[in-house]
Amino acid sequence: MAYARAGRRRRFSLWANGLPRLRCRPVTPLPRRLVTWLLLAVGLCAALTAEARTKRAPTELRDFTAQVTKVRDGDSLEVRRGKDFYEIRLARLDAPELRQDRGEQAKQFLESKLLGAEVRITAKTIDTYGRIVGDVTYRGGKSINEDIVAAGWGWWYKRLYPKDSVMESLERRAREQKIGVWQDKAPTPPWLFRQKGRR
């Protein structure tokens, strides 16, 4: 025989004569508790994410030179500084993912420019993956961040850098010239591609 009833928890206790008695104690409904815990969890996650996204790069890594040892995709690479290796995420742009249309071409463009080269990194933050996010210059001060968008192999990352008029102008020009990813009629921005879980 089932004794469960919504909103109540059932317990057994004993009378002095040993006969069982059913005693009810009202408790907080489970859904309300779940909502409370979920809200707390979401708040904590949001706080941690915000902290991670705005974490500043260490002082010694805010401006340094290094050699590019590997290109991971169209907007991230690995560099060596002495005996240390660092992963760099290029700021202000978002390039196609490797499994996305034009992703391999975007990677090849970055490799042709930087693989094996000496570069200067001006770091901004450390992202949620532990990568240094910043601007990278090469060949006497050319910005690879801007060159990628100018060549059409990356999007201006408007959501994170809404006031970057330079990137806005470079992307608009690449669209008009129909170069890079803009050769396609309606290229999918990488952030939408990631949202669909196809990374």
Q: Is 131 one of the annotated active-site residues of the chain?
A: yes
**How far, rounded to the nearest angstrom, does the alpha carbon of residue 190 sit from its chain's CA centroid?**
11
CA distances from 65 to 30, 127, 163 (A): 56, 20, 27
What count of other Cβ atoms lies within 10 Å of the Cβ of residue 131? Answer: 18
* Helix residue ranges, H only, the chain: 30-53, 103-114, 144-150, 165-177, 190-195
Q: Is 89 one of the annotated active-site residues of the chain?
A: yes
Q: Is 176 one of the annotated active-site residues of the chain?
A: no
The active-site residue out of 97, 102, 146, 171 is 97
The active-site residue out of 89, 102, 146, 171 is 89
The active-site residue out of 92, 102, 131, 146 is 131
SS3 state at 59? helix
**How far, rounded to the nearest angstrom, does the alpha carbon of residue 187 sit from its chain's CA centroid?**
20
Catalytic residue list: 89, 97, 131
